[in-house]
Amino acid sequence: MKKIRTRNQDFNLAHENVFPLLNRTIEKKRWPMVYEQKSNYQASSTESLGIKAYQHSLSKRRLLKFWAQQRKEVRIAPFLPEIIQEIVYKNVYDDMKQMLANCYYEDFQLPLMKITLQSWLLHQKNISMELDRNGDILYWEEIIQFLHTCSKRQLLQDLQQQGNRPSSKYFI
């Protein structure tokens, strides 16, 4: 066994001698205890604006209603032959693309790319959670999964090309 020589004592490096030595050194360097105080957090004005914008957005309601109609096709698609799957995904994405862009540009001024679209969709899902709208949460999650599948199938390539905000003639 190794011996450690300290100022006043000799210690054997045995299991029962090491821990008291460590505890003594830790006690000397102990930080003062910090206690959290109960917060009076209130939602900022930008958060409440996001929630109000979500509640009063007709285009988001239209998008969710469209998805409610199309989700049956998308959920059945994986059980169909590959060619028909591709057609189903392409048709639903093409029909939904403009509504999705309109809803996105209501909230964000950033160029429409895969990463910003995904961030926006997660933001919509979080707002739905705050408002306790379970149906909306489910639909946003399904739209996220659908767009992820479309991304794997290389259907979101026109999203990168579109990039900038579409002209106002597409807004309804």
Residue 67 binned pLDDT confidence (cut-offs 50, 70, 90): very high
Q: Give me 101's structure tokens.
A: 């862009």
- pLDDT at residue number 27: 55
Residue 68 binned pLDDT confidence (cut-offs 50, 70, 90): very high
- Give alpha helix (H) positions in the chain: 15-28, 45-55, 58-76, 82-107, 114-130, 134-152, 157-162
Residue 8 has pLDDT above 60, yes or no: no
Residues 75-104 have pLDDT tens digits of 999 999 999 999 999 999 999 999 999 999
Residue 113 has pLDDT above 60, yes or no: yes
Express as a percent the part of the chain with pLDDT over 70.
Answer: 64
Phi, psi of 162 (to 5 degrees): -65, -50
- pLDDT at residue number 81: 93
- pLDDT at residue number 52: 85
Residue 17 has pLDDT above 70, yes or no: no
**DSSP 3-state assignment of 10?**
strand
Question: Which H or E run contains 39?
Answer: none
Closest CA to 114 of 64, 160, 165, 161: 160
- pLDDT at residue number 50: 77
- pLDDT at residue number 111: 87
Which long-range CB contacts under 8 A does 155-159 form with residues at least 24 apart? 155/89, 155/90, 155/93, 156/93, 156/114, 158/97, 159/97, 159/112, 159/113, 159/114, 159/117
- pLDDT at residue number 129: 92
Residues 42-57 have pLDDT tens digits of 555 555 667 888 888 8
Express as a percent the part of the chain with pLDDT over 90.
Answer: 45
Q: Which of 13-27, 72-86, 95-109 has the lowest mean pLDDT?
A: 13-27
- pLDDT at residue number 61: 93
